[in-house]
């Protein structure tokens, strides 16, 4: 009685820590602490689960410890080893494992544990639902992982008429859950078929969706896993599972919606739009064989806000977009954040001598911030981020090396020597001299397509609000 | 009432432009304009006639005018022609010729010159000095830029980087401020200096840098600066010297009302200047702020062009006349009552201050 | 229907809690800046690993000789733990970039 | 190797400035400068000597030069003095005197003129035409503003509101664009027109308005515009006419390489213009874009001042020389190998295009 | 202490609900723009008039002849109702200014 | 059983509506709907309270109806009649009534209702706490109301050593609650003294706080009322009271904190800082006899965002503050919102002819947006809001009427004829001509003190984020 109180309290504290953790996770400044708090909550909950008094208690602590140790080791290593760029895949994989865990539990509940008393309809229904949702989260996450990791092509594993097919599977599985719950059936054959259908549904649900939309899908599947945890919590009458699961379920759902919004699409459009029409998000333009990487605006904003030195390289595109004001505004914001911002003016940038000077003078950029070619090329190798605003020929590295190029020999701004290069232009079209620019395909280059003014304003907004 | 406008013999401007004439004629006045008065300001007689004025010969004008407008005072001989009791309004004449006073008294004329207008807020609408100083400040920069063998703005071109020109404005009154604004527009680095402390804020409000001279004996009471103490002048000289030596363009506008203009750029400063630099001296007519300035001349000393152009405003005659005209019209409206008749309210400090001769009531 | 009503009345407070939790989840996330979406998803994912508690309880409730179920339980614990530990660890790594350099 | 720089008899600029000379002497070259070459550009002989050059008399220079720089080609007689095999580099000379060709061939000279530089991106660093056009564009606005009897910017003053001047730029090449930028800086309302469609974007990128002429037979292949069809010319004439009639300042820069400049402002347009307006014709040297333009003269027609100043760039000699010098130095670096010796790579299209005479290898 | 523990265990779900409600209240308001502070305060004030329900229940539970308590109850209902109706109405009026004119 | 289900559901729905209502209330665009939703929730809850089955139920519906009718009529009339400017007082008054209601209930519970069984300690404690908190909310709100309504001077009713005095009262009353709950005492004397102490505490708690801080205090007292409602909910075992009260309690608390933050002060500072040191918020500068009104930035932002036409009158202060860029930014934001923004340029604004033109040209304000004196004076009477940015003499109406004034006769911009005039300057100091400006004291004028650039930027921020 007394001890059960302490464990209740521990569970309660776990839930509180989850809430506070999630809250903190929502702000870049506190996110890390939030993550640790949530982890602390989880630790507390696990300890409570291990030591809390149970009615039937066989101990089996060695099994538990073994499982925890193996799981912790594997998870930790995977997380530490992974490349920054493949983290989303890994998250997806982890999520799939969480779903699999729920599947295992529910299967055991259904078959393994000898039924002392027959389960009530709601109980049975809950377990079956856990099984279904867990399965979908499991295989769905695996497919998402495989897509992101490039192991699965965008059009692989797609069933014929995917929308209808998936609707059908969904209806069948839900129908089975209801039917089985009502008749109280739990025979293996039924269960195996339900499991199989759910697993297949997980695959065919995700497979038609384009690779670029995977983050949204992962978030959605994550809220599924949350839901299964909550359902499992109902089975075990465990508050921390129930509440933690519900929290993840609802916050995951809203996060999914937000992610869709950030891409200017609806969730429905992502799920149904499916393969083929998903081009919008993944328009990594190809030129010849090579592919230029795109960077999302939020990521670009973060990159800028957390760098120490930024050099802006304006070109003719700045003039065309009349983006000088937006450029200055971003400069101001970054400077206010302690970033060291300057401008590298190439002698022939624009379409007349001093074109950039005129524009920047219009928005009163202090002369001290302007670097000429020599100064800039000295500073560039020590610069964290370069923003190329509608310049092209003047940052074309082929002028240094490609003797066949019409611009061979022209001194250029060596932006490729900087840490990262963000390139703002509307398309992959070449500039005045009409030559392709190999800069766009370099490891450290990222494209931000769109009108320079719009892009700059979006970055400003993101930096102001987001970071 | 016949309002008459004289042609300026030595000035391309004209005291009234057709736009203002039209207002007067609409208000029921008769306006006479000397033939060819507006020619040099690109305002044809036809334009004046269209506005309702009659054009007449100079002597006719002088003889018939009840209110006579001109920028500079006509000669005493000409004034002899005026009808008794006429009112004279001069825009820029200091009326320092005692002969004019005598003639005016003799003929019972009432005379005003806006040269003596008080620099109050209310008087600003008729402040010709401000209007003209503003033009002079604007044009001083244009002239300097046209004469300077260099670019004003910073330019980073394929042939190297051209640093921006450095412009130093000495005296930040109306003309000085306008010069600062114009030079900044053209992309120069602008610094300015004035003895009046209040100007610091004004200079900075235009985005230019204010040059500090440690300590100043400032007098804020009147719009005009007074002469400075010896010690201060020495400190000032030294500070300015260093800034002058770096400047590509120096624009001087420092004047002390009624006195010779202070020398701000002396031989030493001139020698320190870079060859090719330009000085525009807006104080040329009162002796100049630069030792070598010659009024209405451009002197080259040691590779430095010293432009002593005191008629900068006159050389933009169209807008200058437009502004003059509007200022004079504002002044005229002070003298006229609702019925459109002359009615001089001598209580008004503006009339008081600008009047240089007044018809004796007993006469 | 009867069963449902009975269930509701028995669990009224739980329904309140669950509803509040749903709202709370929504509110917590609804005004989050875009830049934090991915780490947030990752953190939430780690929390969803709370399902591991089910696996732990399962093992504890299983007779010590029922190796089949125990193995399943073990699998569940391992899978859940990977999700939990890996999830928190990877989130932490993602969030490293938010550390202000200066 | 002796690199020599001639003084320009009719031009205040000089082909090399001390800054560039210093680079050359540092690189181990011997640099000879004609005495007084930089005087008119405010660059003294002393400055050149400080930079490591020797100053010599003209004939000595001509006799000893291995590489000879000048802006305009010297007379054929003077070239006779040159040593055999010398290399000539002219900045702006069209070298259309067949006599020069003859002398050069006779003496085995190799000659380049940057007048024929291709307008490619790579050649921009030596593009003297661009550098000078840019100056001309900048100065055209200064000259226009100084001559215009009106303000450029909008001004709301106590004496009424002065509307901004309207500036129309015809031809939006390098000079035209610079003129647009400068006029905008000064606060004018700027419109521009060019036959090349690509310029619309360029004009708008400077915040000015582009004037539409319905339909155009455009040719984008070369940087230079070609002559236009009859029908188009008529439409163009009409459109421009209406815009000219509203303009206070018209700056014309339209040129067609190797031909007489097109007439954009005809009598009818001139008559429609407001008195007091100003035209600056940068195409004056090739006949002018205005019918009444006279090269190197200011003509007043119907109250409109037509400034045919084709030496605008030359009149800003300091920065002009600086840019020239930098352009020429860039060109020189094409001709010199790592060891600092002349080495002509005739594969290079720039050498190819700029060479007007070449030493016969057999000779 | 015993009593407290008993209370907690009896009311675990209520504690959950209350805690969630507290968090929810915080979260709902935490990112609200300044301009809305006053109407929001006013709206919340109206909601706090929910105490009227206590007065209603009080009246219903009071014997019909216990006029003293009934009068108190009546007073309570009146006070509460003023708070509720007046509160919502005044909030509505405050919010009128947010109607976009066009 | 069945019917009780429906009433439970109704209560539940009431709580849901409260939550959704509060959520909607947080955004200007949805606030009105939110208010209606919350009101709907309240209606539902009241209906449920009237009709729900009770164990002891004497009906007495007439009493209830009577109370409801009177309360509704009074509340409604009060709300409809009140002037816009006195709304905060009214809210405070309402809040006090809510507190009084709780006091009445708890008193009756303690004395009136015959105790069938002795109350448990927690129960008794809860009721006593309801009494205390309700009393404080009651008298505190009344004091706040009186202060805001100008019926009470800032220094009236302040006890000696207010901080210590209040601490004492607080300790005494809480001590009594605990003591009484433990000994189970409920004698009238004890209760009356507790009531009295609480009522006094309410007064002395609020009386030392400056009038300008009253909105914060009201918000705090409002969360107290929420707390009493929740406590009363515990007494009655009523979910909607409990949850609704908790929601108001917590959201009221956070709102109080936010309000303090918006004033750049801490809650503690507001409460303790008390009378005298509270000048910061209420620096309505007096000149001679007259008083110029200040407007808060959020209110100014709202005024601007929801107006149709705005004219900006720049003066020398704009130049001094170098606020042209900030001014243009605000213009852009307002224009984007569909507000018609133009600039009225007085001929002698600034310190040189065309001073304003130069500055506005620098930030590329289109010439079309500039009105000269005549145009402006034509437009001003039909303008909703004028923003005077560091101008003074040029908007001084005494130039029209005061023949003694040194600027008599100068034509001025008739900004006083516009709907509302916002005036940005740093102090009440006169301008160049050195004459006082009666404009500042007009009914429709509001001062925004501070550097013009800062003020404009703050307004921009508020408009962007807040409205
Ligand atoms: N400075 C001079 O005097 C002068 C004179 C004549 C010619 N040039 C030549 O012009 C070139 C100048 O180099 P540069 O790097 O400044 O320009 P550039 O090489 O012409 O490249 C400009 C780039 O800006 C992009 N862009 C255009 N509009 C844009 C918009 N609204 N938003 C975003 N991006 C936009 C274009 O890409 P998208 O189309 O994909 O958007 C284009 O690739 C050189 O080749 C130079 O030789 C210079
Ligand atoms: N235009 C001309 O040619 C010219 C030439 C000379 C004189 N004047 C005279 O100057 C006056 C011009 O009128 P005006 O209305 O433009 O200016 P003003 O009457 O001088 O008033 C300017 C106001 O701006 C405020 N201010 C100063 N710095 C500020 C800052 N950083 N932030 C916010 N406010 C600031 C000042 O109040 P606080 O100190 O309280 O902030 C001051 O009251 C007229 O009297 C005119 O006659 C004009
Ligand atoms: N009340 C009004 O509305 C109104 C109207 C016009 C002018 N004013 C004021 O009158 C003042 C003078 O105007 P102005 O332009 O006719 O002045 P000005 O032409 O008489 O003198 C020009 C400037 O030179 C400065 N100066 C004098 N001696 C100097 C020295 N030794 N070194 C450096 N600077 C020196 C003066 O301080 C003045 O600022 C200005 O402050 C102006 O704002 C006021
Ligand atoms: N590759 C490079 O880097 C480089 C370098 C310099 C110049 N250029 C380009 O070369 C082009 C020409 O430059 P420029 O300034 O020497 O040209 P230019 O002096 O030969 O001509 C000036 C302008 O007049 C225009 N024009 C000709 N006939 C006209 C008519 N009838 N009406 C109106 N306009 C007419 C031309 O289109 C041109 O834009 C420009 O586009 C410039 O950008 C390129």
Per the model's pLDDT, the better-predicted residue between B169 and F444 turns out to be B169
Per-residue pLDDT tens over the stretch E18-76: 888 888 888 888 877 766 888 899 999 999 999 999 999 999 988 888 898 899 999 99
Give the largest CA-CA distance in chain E: 64
- Interface B-D, measured as beta-carbon pairs within 8 A, has a size of 118
Q: Which two tokens stand for residue C22?
A: 């749903």
Report the pLDDT value the prediction gives residue A38, as an integer from 0 to 100: 95
Per the model's pLDDT, the better-predicted residue between A120 and F244 turns out to be F244
Mean pLDDT, range F202-214, rounded to an integer: 85
Residue B110 Cα distances to B64, B249, F162, angstroms: 15, 45, 76
Chain A residue closest to C57 (CA)?
A: A49
Q: Which residues in A111-135 are b (16+ Cβ under 10 Å) and which e? A: bbeeeeeebeeeebbbbbbbbbbbb
Q: Is the pLDDT of residue F278 over 60?
A: no
Task: Name the residue with the closest Cα to ligand 2, atom 38.
Answer: F426
Contacts E14 to C, Cβ<8 Å: 13
Report the pLDDT value the prediction gives residue F118, as an integer from 0 to 100: 66
DSSP F194-211: HHHHHHHHHHHHHTTS-G
Q: Which two tokens stand for residue D95?
A: 């070298």
DSSP B13-44: --S--HHHHHHHHHTT-EEEEETTTTGGGT--
Residue with tokens 């508050």: A239
Closest atom, ligand 2, to C-alpha of F426: 41
Q: Which two tokens stand for residue E6?
A: 């008993």
Which of D180-184, D204-208, D316-320 has the weakest average pLDDT? D204-208
Per-residue pLDDT tens over the stretch F27-64: 877 889 999 999 999 999 999 999 988 888 888 899 99
Q: How far is A168 from chain F (nearest CA, A)?
A: 34
Look at residue D253 and give its three-state secondary structure: coil
- Strands in D166-170's sheet, in edge-to-edge order, are D209-210, D189-193, D166-170, D249-252, D278-281, D304-307, D298-301
Q: Residue B49 contacts by C-beta under 8 Å, 6 or more apart in sequence?
A: B55
Report the pLDDT value the prediction gives residue D211, as an integer from 0 to 100: 92
> What single-letter DSSP state applies at residue F466?
I
With a threshold of 0.85, tell me whether the complex ipTM lies above it: no
Kindly give the distance from the C-alpha atom of residue B7 to the centroid of ligand 3, in angstroms, as a whole number: 30
Report the pLDDT value the prediction gives residue B236, as an integer from 0 to 100: 80
Report the pLDDT value the prediction gives residue A279, as an integer from 0 to 100: 37
The answer to whether the CB of D249 falls within 8 A of the CB of D183 is yes
Which of the listed residues F360, F388, F392, F405 should we mutate to test ligand 2's pocket, taking the one with most ligand atoms within 8 A of CB? Answer: F392
Report the pLDDT value the prediction gives residue F240, as an integer from 0 to 100: 92
Annotated catalytic residue A393 = yes
Per the model's pLDDT, the better-predicted residue between D166 and A358 turns out to be D166
Q: Is the pLDDT of residue D328 over 90?
A: yes
**Marked catalytic residue, from A213, A393, A414, A416:** A393
**Per-residue confidence band for A367, with pLDDT thresholds at 50, 70 and 90:** confident
Per-residue pLDDT tens over the stretch D64-113: 999 999 999 999 999 999 998 899 999 998 888 889 988 988 888 999 99
Per-residue pLDDT tens over the stretch B107-150: 889 999 999 999 888 888 899 999 999 999 999 999 999 999 99
CB-based contact (8 Å) between A377 and chain B?
no
CB of D71 sitting under 6 A from ligand 4: no
Per the model's pLDDT, the better-predicted residue between F118 and F359 turns out to be F359
Q: Is the pLDDT of residue F271 over 90?
A: no
Per the model's pLDDT, the better-predicted residue between A353 and F24 turns out to be F24
Mutation site, D150, D151, D156, interface F, largest F CB count within 10 A:
D156
**Marked catalytic residue, from B124, B205, B296, B333:** B124
Q: Is the pLDDT of residue D218 over 80?
A: no
Q: How far is E30 from chain A (nearest CA, A)?
A: 11
Ligand 2 binding site (Cβ under 6 Å of any ligand atom): B 121, 124, 130; F 315-317, 320-321, 348-353, 355, 390-394, 424-427, 429, 431-433, 451-452
Q: Which two tokens stand for residue D172?
A: 């939006």
Average pLDDT over all residues of chain F: 86
The answer to whether the CB of C34 falls within 8 A of the CB of A262 is yes
Any idea which ligand is nearest the CA of B130? 3
Closest atom, ligand 3, to C-alpha of B120: 1
Per-residue pLDDT tens over the stretch F175-185: 999 888 888 76
How many whole angstroms separate alpha carbon B359 and alpha carbon D48? 71
Mean pLDDT, range D246-272, rounded to an integer: 92
A-contacting chains (≥3 CB pairs under 8 Å) = B, C, D, E, F
Residue with tokens 């139920």: F57
How many whole angstroms separate alpha carbon B315 and alpha carbon B40? 10
> What single-letter DSSP state applies at residue F115?
-
Mean pLDDT, range B312-326, rounded to an integer: 92
**Per-residue confidence band for D234, with pLDDT thresholds at 50, 70 and 90:** confident
**Per-residue confidence band for A116, with pLDDT thresholds at 50, 70 and 90:** low
Mean pLDDT, range F334-339, rounded to an integer: 88
Per the model's pLDDT, the better-predicted residue between F139 and A159 turns out to be F139
Task: Name the residue with the closest Cα to ligand 2, atom 28.
Answer: F317
Q: Is the pLDDT of residue D54 over 90?
A: yes
How many whole angstroms separate alpha carbon B182 and alpha carbon B316? 16
Contact between chain E and chain C (3 or more Cβ pairs less than 8 Å apart):
yes
Give the largest CA-CA distance in chain A: 89
Q: Is the pLDDT of residue B60 over 60?
A: yes
Contacts E27 to C, Cβ<8 Å: 24, 27-28
Helices (H), A184-266: 188-206, 214-236, 239-262
Per the model's pLDDT, the better-predicted residue between B96 and B32 turns out to be B32
Which of A314-318, A422-426, B337-341 has the weakest average pLDDT? B337-341
Kindly give the distance from the C-alpha atom of residue D124 to the centroid of ligand 4, in angstroms, as a whole number: 14
Backbone angles phi, psi at F389, to 5 degrees: -100, 95
Q: Is the pLDDT of residue B70 over 70?
A: yes
Tell me what percent of the residues of chain C surpass a pLDDT of 70: 89
Chain F residue closest to C19 (CA)?
A: F16
Nearest to F357 among D153, D158, D189 (CB): D153
**Per-residue confidence band for F212, with pLDDT thresholds at 50, 70 and 90:** confident
CB pair distance less than 8 Å for A228 and C93: no
Report the pLDDT value the prediction gives residue F280, as an integer from 0 to 100: 37
Any idea which ligand is nearest the CA of D232? 4
Look at residue B340 and give its three-state secondary structure: coil
Kindly give the distance from the C-alpha atom of residue B256 to the centroid of ligand 2, in angstroms, as a whole number: 24
Q: How far is E66 from chain C (nearest CA, A)?
A: 34
CB-based contact (8 Å) between E21 and chain C?
yes
CB-based contact (8 Å) between D153 and chain F?
yes
Report the pLDDT value the prediction gives residue A216, as an integer from 0 to 100: 87
Contact between chain E and chain A (3 or more Cβ pairs less than 8 Å apart):
yes
Task: Identify the CA nearest to A387 among candidates A455, A438, A338.
Answer: A455
Instruction: State whether the Cα torsion B133-B135-B141-B147 is positive or negative.
Output: negative
Q: Is the pLDDT of residue A112 over 90?
A: no
Mutation site, E16, E25, E26, interface C, largest C CB count within 10 A:
E16
Mean pLDDT, range F117-130, rounded to an integer: 82
CB of A315 sitting under 6 A from ligand 1: yes
Per-residue pLDDT tens over the stretch A229-281: 999 998 888 889 999 999 999 999 988 988 887 666 788 877 775 543 333 33
Q: Is the pLDDT of residue C82 over 90?
A: yes
How many whole angstroms separate alpha carbon F436 and alpha carbon F438? 6
- Measured between its terminal Cα atoms, the distance across chain E in Å is 63
How many whole angstroms separate alpha carbon B296 and alpha carbon B287? 11
**Per-residue confidence band for A287, with pLDDT thresholds at 50, 70 and 90:** very low
Tell me what percent of the residues of chain B surpass a pLDDT of 90: 66
> What single-letter DSSP state applies at residue D261?
P
The answer to whether the CB of A268 falls within 8 A of the CB of A256 is no
Q: Is the pLDDT of residue D286 over 50?
A: yes
F-contacting chains (≥3 CB pairs under 8 Å) = A, B, C, D, E
Q: Residue F431 contacts by C-beta under 8 Å, 6 or more apart in sequence?
A: F315, F316, F391, F392, F393, F396, F437
Task: Identify the CA nearest to A238 among candidates C60, C78, C64.
Answer: C60
How many whole angstroms separate alpha carbon E92 and alpha carbon F21? 12
**Per-residue confidence band for A118, with pLDDT thresholds at 50, 70 and 90:** low
Closest atom, ligand 1, to C-alpha of D134: 3
Per-residue pLDDT tens over the stretch A418-449: 988 999 999 888 888 888 899 998 888 889 99
Residue with tokens 């059983």: F1
Rama region for B336: left / alpha / beta (φ>0; ψ in -120 to 50; rest): beta
Report the pLDDT value the prediction gives residue A432, as an integer from 0 to 100: 86
Task: Name the residue with the closest Cα to ligand 2, atom 1.
Answer: F348
Q: Residue F192 contacts by C-beta under 8 Å, 6 or more apart in sequence?
A: none
Report the pLDDT value the prediction gives residue F68, as an integer from 0 to 100: 95
Mutation site, C27, C29, C30, C31, interface E, largest E CB count within 10 A:
C27
Mean pLDDT, range F421-450, rounded to an integer: 89
Q: Which residues of D are catalytic?
A: 119, 124, 127, 130, 224
Task: Identify the CA nearest to B236 among candidates B252, B258, B259.
Answer: B252
Contacts A362 to D, Cβ<8 Å: 207
Per the model's pLDDT, the better-predicted residue between F378 and D216 turns out to be F378
Backbone angles phi, psi at B87, to 5 degrees: -110, 130
Per-residue pLDDT tens over the stretch A172-199: 999 999 888 888 766 778 889 999 999 9
How many whole angstroms separate alpha carbon A337 and alpha carbon F323? 21
Report the pLDDT value the prediction gives residue E37, as an integer from 0 to 100: 82
**Per-residue confidence band for A289, with pLDDT thresholds at 50, 70 and 90:** very low
Q: Is the pLDDT of residue D217 over 70?
A: no
Per-residue pLDDT tens over the stretch F62-115: 999 999 999 999 999 999 988 877 888 899 999 999 999 999 999 888 876 555
Annotated catalytic residue B220 = no
Kindly give the distance from the C-alpha atom of residue B252 to the centroid of ligand 3, in angstroms, as a whole number: 12
Q: Is the pLDDT of residue F350 over 70?
A: yes
**Per-residue confidence band for D360, with pLDDT thresholds at 50, 70 and 90:** low
Task: Name the residue with the closest Cα to ligand 3, atom 21.
Answer: B255
Nearest to A347 among B156, B164, B207 (CB): B156
Task: Name the residue with the closest Cα to ligand 1, atom 28.
Answer: A317
Q: How far is B187 from chain A (nearest CA, A)?
A: 7
């Amino acid at each position: 009685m007394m001890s059960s109180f302490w464990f209740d309290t521990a569970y309660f504290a776990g839930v509180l820590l989850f809430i506070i953790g999630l809250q903190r996770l929502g702000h870049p400044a506190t996110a890390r602490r939030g993550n640790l708090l949530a982890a602390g909550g989880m630790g507390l909950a696990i300890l409570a689960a291990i030591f809390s008094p149970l009615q039937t208690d066989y101990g089996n602590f060695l099994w538990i410890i073994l499982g925890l140790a193996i799981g912790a080791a594997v998870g930790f290593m995977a997380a530490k080893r992974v490349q920054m760029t493949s983290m989303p895949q890994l998250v997806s994989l982890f999520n799939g494992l969480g779903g699999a865990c729920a599947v295992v539990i529910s299967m055991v509940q259904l078959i393994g544990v000898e039924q002392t008393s027959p389960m009530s309809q709601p109980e049975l229904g809950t377990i079956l639902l856990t099984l279904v949702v867990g399965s979908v989260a499991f295989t769905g996450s695996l497919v998402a992982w495989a897509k992101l990791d490039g192991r699965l092509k965008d059009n692989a594993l797609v069933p014929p008429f995917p929308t209808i097919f998936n609707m059908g599977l969904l209806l069948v599985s839900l129908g089975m859950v209801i039917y089985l719950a009502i008749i109280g059936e739990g025979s293996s054959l039924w269960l195996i078929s339900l499991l199989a259908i759910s697993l297949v549904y997980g695959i065919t649900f995700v497979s038609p969706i384009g690779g670029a939309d995977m983050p949204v899908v992962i978030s959605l599947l994550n809220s599924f896993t949350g839901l299964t945890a909550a359902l499992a919590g109902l089975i075990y009458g465990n508050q921390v599972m129930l509440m933690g699961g519900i929290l993840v379920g609802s916050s995951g759902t809203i996060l999914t919606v937000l992610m869709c919004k950030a891409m200017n699409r609806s969730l429905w459009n992502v799920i149904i739009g499916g393969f083929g029409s998903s081009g919008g998000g993944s328009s990594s333009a190809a030129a010849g064989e090579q592919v230029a990487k795109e960077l999302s605006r939020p990521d670009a904003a973060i990159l800028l806000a957390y760098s120490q030195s930024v050099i802006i390289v304006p070109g003719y595109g700045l003039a065309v977009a009349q983006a000088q004001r937006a450029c200055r505004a971003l400069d101001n914001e970054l400077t206010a954040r302690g970033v060291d911002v300057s401008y590298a003016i190439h002698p022939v940038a624009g379409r007349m001598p001093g074109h950039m000077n005129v524009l920047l003078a219009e928005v009163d950029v202090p002369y001290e911030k302007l670097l000429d070619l020599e100064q800039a090329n000295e500073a560039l190798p020590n610069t964290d981020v370069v923003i190329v605003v509608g310049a092209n020929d003047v940052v074309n590295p082929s002028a240094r090396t490609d003797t066949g190029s019409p611009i061979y020999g022209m001194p250029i701004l060596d932006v490729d020597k900087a840490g990262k290069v963000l390139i703002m232009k509307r398309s992959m079209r070449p500039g005045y001299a009409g030559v392709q620019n190999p800069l766009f395909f370099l490891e450290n280059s990222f494209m931000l397509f769109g009108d320079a003014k719009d892009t700059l304003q979006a970055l400003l907004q993101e930096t102001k609000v987001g970071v | 009432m016949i309002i008459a406008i004289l042609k300026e013999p030595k000035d391309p401007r004209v005291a009234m432009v057709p736009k203002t004439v039209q207002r007067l004629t609409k208000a029921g006045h008769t306006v006479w304009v000397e033939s060819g008065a507006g020619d040099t300001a690109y305002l044809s007689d036809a334009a004046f006639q269209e506005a309702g004025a009659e054009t007449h010969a100079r002597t006719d004008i002088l003889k018939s005018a009840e209110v006579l407008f001109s920028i500079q005072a006509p000669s005493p001989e000409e004034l002899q022609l005026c009808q008794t009791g006429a009112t004279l309004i001069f825009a820029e004449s200091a009326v320092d010729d005692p002969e004019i006073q005598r003639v005016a008294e003799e003929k019972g004329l009432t005379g005003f010159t806006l040269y003596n207008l008080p620099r109050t807020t209310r008087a600003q609408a008729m402040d010709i000095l401000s209007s003209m100083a503003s033009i002079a400040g604007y044009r001083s920069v244009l002239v300097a830029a046209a004469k300077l063998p260099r670019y004003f703005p910073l330019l980073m071109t394929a042939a190297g980087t051209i640093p921006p020109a450095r412009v130093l404005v000495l005296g930040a009154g109306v003309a000085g401020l306008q010069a600062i604004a114009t030079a900044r527009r053209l992309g120069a680095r602008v610094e300015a200096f004035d003895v009046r402390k209040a100007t610091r804020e004004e200079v900075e409000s235009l985005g230019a840098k204010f040059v500090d001279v440690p300590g100043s004996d400032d007098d804020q009471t009147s719009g005009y600066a007074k002469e400075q103490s010896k010690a201060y002048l020495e400190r000032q000289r030294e500070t300015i010297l260093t800034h002058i030596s770096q400047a590509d363009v120096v624009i001087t506008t420092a004047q002390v009302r009624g006195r010779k203009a202070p020398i701000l750029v002396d031989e030493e400063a001139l020698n320190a200047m870079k060859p090719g630099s330009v000085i525009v001296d807006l104080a040329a007519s009162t002796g100049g702020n630069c030792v070598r300035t010659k009024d209405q001349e451009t002197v080259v000393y040691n590779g430095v062009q010293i432009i002593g152009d005191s008629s900068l405003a006159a050389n933009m005659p169209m807008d200058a006349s437009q502004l003059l005209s509007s200022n004079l019209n504002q002044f005229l409206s002070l003298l006229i009552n609702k019925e459109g008749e002359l009615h001089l309210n001598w209580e008004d400090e503006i009339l008081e201050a600008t009047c240089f001769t007044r018809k004796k009531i007993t006469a | 229907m009867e069963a449902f009503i009975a269930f509701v009345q028995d669990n009224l407070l739980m329904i309140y809690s669950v509803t509040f939790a749903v709202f709370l989840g929504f509110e917590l996330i609804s005004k989050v800046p875009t830049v934090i979406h991915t780490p947030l998803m990752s953190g939430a994912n780690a929390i969803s690993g709370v399902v591991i508690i089910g696996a732990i309880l399962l093992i504890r409730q299983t007779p010590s000789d029922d190796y089949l179920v125990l193995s399943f339980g073990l699998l569940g614990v391992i899978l859940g733990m990977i999700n939990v530990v890996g999830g928190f660890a990877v989130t932490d790594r993602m969030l490293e970039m938010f550390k202000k350099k200066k």
